[in-house]
Structure 1
Amino acid sequence: MSKHHYFFAIKLPKEAKDFLNEWMEAKKHEFPFAKWVHPEDYHITLAFLGFAPEDMKSAAIQTMPQVLIGVPPFSLTLHQIGTFGPQKKPRIFWADVKHSEELIQLQKKVYGQALKVGFDLDKKPFRPHITIARKWNSAEEFDPNLLTDIDGDFSFTVNEIILYETHLDKTPKYHEFARFSLK
């Protein structure tokens, strides 16, 4: 078994990463989180596999192109910021995208295939988001009134998914292990 975690995700294109990073840099002073995610690590997780035995990882890689047949590229639009965890001291700070039926269907296909291959996946409902920072780091309580829409109505095209491998000792920490095109 590998010492790395693996997950299928939508990789944000460089322009989306740059837009989101510039927007966050302008707002960072309002949000004292302990650890900010490197912009190269921005993504939307579709299925978190965790530690992946070689046979299951190989099966997922070999079967994913078939699963994606007939899934065309589609557009997503950055929407708003939010948090997960305790309201007064959130543990995750995120940006999301506007509702997309294409995204919901893609996630169902990827998640379903990972289950078929044998992975034990998180059962929580899918909440598409891009983690921006972790761990509230202030004596002051978090003010949920600071949560806003992302200015600028920035859209980007999703034309591939990635199987990422996590390297906790590196920055950026997510390595592209395999790529799968949408056509």
Structure 2
Amino acid sequence: MSERWFFALWPDDAVRAALASRLPELLPVGARATHPSDFHLTLAFLGPLAPDVLGCAERAADRIRAAGFDLEIDRVGHFARAHVLWCAPATPPEALPALVRDLQAQLSICGLAADPRPYRPHITLARKAAAMPASDWSTPMRWSVRELVLAAGYGGPGPRYRVRRRWALI
């Protein structure tokens, strides 16, 4: 299977542990939990890339000049069609969609088009989730976002994603 590239926000160890600790109370019967090492919030999905386009995407990220920001993860939801259980900020700070817009503008130089669907920031907690969880997100969780990453998905059992490169948000 070829690598599927994407830019994302990658939680630190403390945020990953906090997410993982909440999963047991949220996980519907039959759902497949995301491996804690794979928790991330996608900014731009790129798919399989030729080496020259991958290099261009890295140079695009080199040009990003965005400040770090805080996310408050305070909502849990379910994409019924995709059978995905997720968590997200109910009200994302303006810095998040601004970062996505800036990244998309830089990636367009590489010929990589932005996803035409509205951006819906979320962290996938589980797949094959046929229903909403019985429990709700009990206490908001703060995540201090300080970096952007380029990662690739490889399929197979978790962890399924590997970070190739990181960029500090200033």
Name the TM-score, length of structure 2 as normaliser: 0.90
Q: Is 1:180 aligned to 2:163, yes or no?
A: no
CA distance in 2, matches of 1:46, 1:33: 28
CA contact (8 A) 2:87 2:123 kept: yes
Q: Which residue of 1 aligns with 2:35?
A: 38
- Specify every segment of 5 or more residues in structure 2 that has no aligned partner in the other structure, as ranges: none
**Could you tell me how far 1:147 is from its partner in structure 2?**
6.3
Q: Identify the structure with the greater helix proportion.
A: 1
**Could you tell me how far 1:170 is from its partner in structure 2?**
4.7
Question: In percent, how many aligned pairs have the same letter?
Answer: 26
Q: Which residue of 2 aligns with 1:96?
A: 88
Q: Which residue of 2 aligns with 1:131?
A: 124
CA distance in 2, matches of 1:40, 1:32: 22
Q: Is 1:53 aligned to 2:40, yes or no?
A: no
CA distance in 1, matches of 2:33, 2:168: 29
Amino acid in structure 1 at the alignment position of 2:139: G
**Which digits, 9 at most, give the CA deviation of each residue in 1:42-86, with x for residues without a partner?**
0000000001111111011023121x22x1111111111111133
Consecutive aligned runs of 4 or more in structure 1 exceeding 6 Å deviation: none
Q: Which residue of 2 aligns with 1:161?
A: 148
Q: Which residue of 2 aligns with 1:110?
A: 103
CA contact (8 A) 2:34 2:158 kept: no
Name the TM-score, length of structure 1 as normaliser: 0.84
CA distance in 2, matches of 1:73, 1:47: 18
Q: 1:119 aligns with which of 112, 115, 124?
A: 112
The count of aligned residue pairs is 169
**Structure number with larger C-alpha Rg:** 1
CA contact (8 A) 2:84 2:128 kept: yes
CA contact (8 A) 1:9 1:161 kept: yes
Question: 3-state DSSP class of the match of 1:118?
Answer: coil
Q: 1:78 aligns with which of 69, 73, 79?
A: 73
